[in-house]
Amino acid sequence: MTTIANSLQAIRNRIHSAESAAGRTQGEVTLLAVSKAHPAEAVRAAYAAGQQAFGENYLQEALAKQQELTDLAIAWHFIGPLQSNKTLAIAQNFSWVHSVDRLKIAERLNTARPADLPRLQVCLQVNVSREASKGGVAATEACALAQAIAKLPRLQLRGLMAIPAPSHSIAIQRQQFRMVRELQETMQAQGLALDTLSMGMSDDFPAAIAEGATIIRIGSAIFGARPATENRQVRL
C-alpha cells in the first residue's frame, strides 16, 4: 500500500504547483480522495498517509467501509446521485453531500439530519454542460434553488459542485469551471455566504484550481484503476 502514499504525495505536489501557478495560497485547495470501488484497506492506507477526507458514490458500499473504519476520524463526503429512499442513511452517516440538485432531496436530508450532529454540509450540483446523462440543476434555476436550500436549518449550503463534460482543451476546461465560479459569485452577490467550489478531477483539476476550486475530487490517480466490478454498481 506504499503506492497509495506515494500517489497521494504526487497529487499534493501537483496541487501545490497548480495553486502557485494560479497565484493562490498553498493549502487553499482541499483534496477529497474518491475511494468508491476500492476496499477499506486502501482507505486505511491513505489515512495513514495523512488523508482524512474521502468521497463515496454508492451508499451500501460506503456504509460497509464505515463499519470497518470506525477507529479512524474520517470525514465522509457523499458525491453520488441521490434518491429519496437513501436520504435518511446519508444524512445520518456523512458530513458532506456534494450532489444536491432538488429541493425535495434537500428537504429530506434536512428532516433526517440527527439533532446531535452538526449541520450537514451540502453543495448544490450544477449541470454546467447541460448533459442529459448527468445530474445537477440547470444554471438558470440554480440561484432560486440555492436560496431555498439556504433556509433549511439542519443543512449548511457551502457552495457548488460540478462535473463538466470532459475535454482535452485546457481553455474549454477553464471556461466550464469559470461558469461555475461566476454562478457562485452571482449567488454571493444575492446574499448567500458560500465558500466552496467542488470541481476538478484527476484529468482536469489544474484548470479547476486556476478557476477557484476549493475541493478537488481525485480517485484513480490515488488508488489506481477501479475494479471492473465497479461498472456493475447500480446508481443510487
Quickly list DSSP for 95-136: SEEEEE--HHHHHHHHHHS-TTSPPEEEEEEE-TT--TTS--
Q: Is the pLDDT of residue 72 over 70?
A: yes
| pLDDT surpassing 50 at residue 214 | yes
Which backbone phi and psi does 18 adopt, to 5 degrees? Answer: -70, -40
pLDDT single digits (tens) 160-191: 999 999 999 999 999 999 999 999 999 999 99
Mean pLDDT, the chain, whole residue set: 94
3 state DSSP class of 77: strand
Q: Does domain 2-224 have CATH number 3.20.20.10?
A: yes
Residues 6+ apart with CB under 8 A from 28: 19, 214
Q: Is 192 left (phi over 0), alpha (psi -120 to 50) or beta?
A: beta
Predicted confidence at residue 232, as pLDDT, reads 39
The model's confidence at residue 137, banded by pLDDT at 50, 70 and 90, is very high
**Residue 63: how many other CB atoms lie within 10 Å:** 16
Report how far residue 199's alpha carbon sits from residue 32's, in angstroms, rounded to the nearest whole number.
10
Bigger pLDDT: 77 vs 228: 77
157 pLDDT exceeds 90?
yes
Q: What is the pLDDT of residue 229?
A: 52
Percent of the chain topping pLDDT 90: 90
Mean pLDDT of 119-132: 92
Is residue 77 a contact partner of residue 94, using CB atoms and an 8 Å limit?
yes
User: Domain map of the chain by residue range?
Assistant: 2-224
- DSSP bridge pairs for 73: none
Cα 39 off chain centre by = 19
- Cα 83 from Cα 11, distance rounded (Å): 32
Q: What is the pLDDT of residue 234?
A: 33
Residue type, 22: A
Which residue has 458525491 as its cell numbers?
79
Closest CA relative to residue 73, chosen from 50, 98, 56, 57: 50
pLDDT, mean of residues 115-131: 94
Please give the grid coordinates belonging to residue 182.
461566476
Say what the pTM is: 0.93
